[in-house]
Structure 1
Amino acid sequence: MLKTRLFCFGYESPSQFANNANQGWDDEDSAAVWIKDASDEAVLTWGRAIAESFVPFLFKRAEKDAYSWANENFAYWIETDPNILAHASELPVVTVGEMPDFTSLSSGG
């Protein structure tokens, strides 16, 4: 049976990436997407694939060269806090193998 889980991940937007490199800062952002699958491992694996594709989307939109999200060791997790889950109903929902609309995940990055 499929279960919907909230996959969350950190990343640097193009402006954060530049500012962090130039100023020595450690600023980052986060995004989340609901993923449907029977197992936590499948959700984590697909969520990492989403994050790895999301970063180049942001950088292409900003006409910048992207970094590899996977190589930067950003945090990622399946959210379990009921308060956070209750306020995440507007986020995209996908099944494993389906990419979300990245525009809906970005906050202007």
Structure 2
Amino acid sequence: MITARLYCFGYETPAQFENNARHGWDDEDSAAVWIAAASEEAALDWGRSIAEEFVSFLFKCDGKEGYSWAGENFASWIETDPNILAHALEFPAVSVGEMPDFNILSGRA
């Protein structure tokens, strides 16, 4: 059965990447996307693809390339806390195989 699951992930923006490297900080942001998938594993797999493409988008918009979200080992998970899920209705929703609008996800829209 296809079920919407809230995929959450941490990442760093290009500015955070530079500041973290320069100052030894560990500042990061997070984002979430509802993913309609047949299983939690399928949602996690597709969510990781979204995270990689999203962060790549952020770096390309900043004129930088070659950064890999997956290579930085940021956390990602399917949220199961009912209290969090009840308040997460504003996040974009996609199905496995679809990308969300990265302008919306980044707050650039």
Tell me which interval the TM-score lies in, with the shorter structure as reference length.
Answer: over 0.9
Q: Corresponding residue for 2:50?
A: 50
Q: Corresponding residue for 1:13?
A: 13
1:72 aligns with 2:78: no
Partner SS, residue 33 of structure 2: strand
Contact 1:55–1:66, Cα closer than 8 Å, also in 2:
no
Aligned runs of 1:26-41 on 2, under 5 Å? 26-41=26-41
Q: Give the aligned CA root-mean-square deviation in angstroms.
A: 1.1
1:45-89 C-alpha deviation (Å, 9 max, x unpaired): 000000010011011111223411111110000001112111110
- Cα distance between partner residues in 2 of 1:91 and 1:104: 9
**Amino acid in structure 1 at the alignment position of 2:5:** R
**Amino acid in structure 2 at the alignment position of 1:103:** N
**Amino acid in structure 2 at the alignment position of 1:12:** E
TM-aligned CA deviation for residue 33 of structure 1: 0.1
- Cα distance between partner residues in 2 of 1:32 and 1:69: 15
Partner SS, residue 7 of structure 1: strand
- Cα distance between partner residues in 1 of 2:54 and 2:19: 19
Q: Corresponding residue for 2:101?
A: 101
**Amino acid in structure 2 at the alignment position of 1:48:** R
TM-score by length of 1: 0.94
Gaps of 5+ in 1: none
Partner SS, residue 10 of structure 1: strand
After the TM superposition, which parts of structure 1 deviate over 6 Å for at least 4 consecutive aligned residues?
none
Gaps of 5+ in 2: none
**Amino acid in structure 2 at the alignment position of 1:30:** S
TM-aligned CA deviation for residue 107 of structure 1: 3.8
